[in-house]
A and B are shown apart, each in its own frame.
Chain A
């Protein structure tokens, strides 16, 4: 749930909430990726949510997790629950939502988080082999193209399909589906400058 306040506005304007009830608002926060600027950027959405579920805490130290919890309290977030290996208590879902009241009382402009979105879709027409080269190149791709997301599928020399998902601090390669389309989506400040040729140059030099 990223830009929840804008979403609520659209639901209200479309009279959707005349027919459906909003049960609960959950903000899932990636504990391994969250940093102070991000918390400040999403502060309103975090406060508006009934519950903030913090995931991937197993990837960070106990001290960092504790600091994150403190930072959330500092910006006024109250109901924080941790998700351990994808599992969380579900009792909180029975509480009724108060996000509509939050939006009704919200005075300032909504966050326009998509202003700086820059993306590209690259058809991967050549093999990337070995696949680990992409993993090794991820820091360079972040530096050179300002990337913060990479997701898609590609083949290696032996026609094995690989699925990649990357965030600023993580990159994961798993076996992909044989029927997957060989293409990668990259998001970041200069993503559009990343072409297949440039990607192969960077990966080749990893």
Chain B
């Protein structure tokens, strides 16, 4: 299971690097397109290139899924290490998962509700998971959930949800 997690996280980190590269290319393409529009120059080719990059980026974002909450947490911990806003501690993680309606907020709420159903403290419990606790250590708390086939089935129902043939991750999750 540890090996599987490592392989999955490494794959996601590679996708993340690709995402950043594509984002930079999209930004540049946007610059060129906007300037051409303002100058009233032909935009057909620039528009196609911009749209293509947008589609590629959207497809990549759709492909980035977390097969388990441990993979999710480990990825967040590793992918954001060099960002201006790293996710290294429980305080960082709780902040990241606090935006209303945000997909990670839904994952966080779902994990917490399931931990509580198993009689375990939720990740929001600061007495158990102090603000300064390293997120790498905190992911062990999710092992009981990972071992629970019922939980994993529900997680997959939300994480891999599609509607109308389109990826719609966690759109079927209703916050309690």
Contact = CB atoms under 8 A, between A and B. Distances in A.
Interface of A: 8-9, 12-13, 100-101, 103-104, 106, 109-110, 115-121, 192, 195-197
Interface string B119-156: 00000000000011000000000000000000000000
B95 A192 contact: yes
B167 interface: no
B47 to A, nearest CB: 10
Interface stretch (B1-9, B14-22, B61-69, B85-93): B85-93
Nearest to B33: A13
B30 A192 contact: no
Nearest to A114: B84
B34 A119 contact: no
A120 B91 contact: yes
B31 interface: yes
Given A192-B86, A192-B91, A197-B131, A12 B38 contact: yes
A104 B39 contact: yes
Tell me if B's interface is mostly helix, strand, loop or mixed.
Answer: helix
Contacts of B39: 104
B162 interface: no
A11 to B, nearest CB: 9
Given A103-B34, A192-B86, 16 more contacts: A8-B34, A12-B34, A12-B38, A13-B30, A13-B37, A104-B35, A104-B38, A109-B31, A110-B31, A115-B84, A118-B84, A121-B95, A192-B85, A192-B91, A192-B92, A197-B131
Given A100-B38, A116-B84, A119-B85, A195 B132 contact: yes
Interface size class on chain B is 10 to 19
Contacts, number: 44
B98 interface: yes
Q: Which 8 A-B pairs have the closest CB atoms?
A: A104-B38, A12-B34, A195-B131, A9-B34, A104-B39, A116-B84, A118-B84, A12-B37
A146 to B, nearest CB: 12
A13 B50 CA distance: 10
A9 B31 contact: yes
Contacts of B95: 120-121, 192
Contacts of B85: 117-119, 192
Contact of B35 (A103, A109, A118): A103
A88 to B, nearest CB: 29
A9 B30 contact: yes
Give the residue among A101, A109, A115, A192 with the most B Cβ atoms within 10 A.
Answer: A192
A121 B131 contact: no
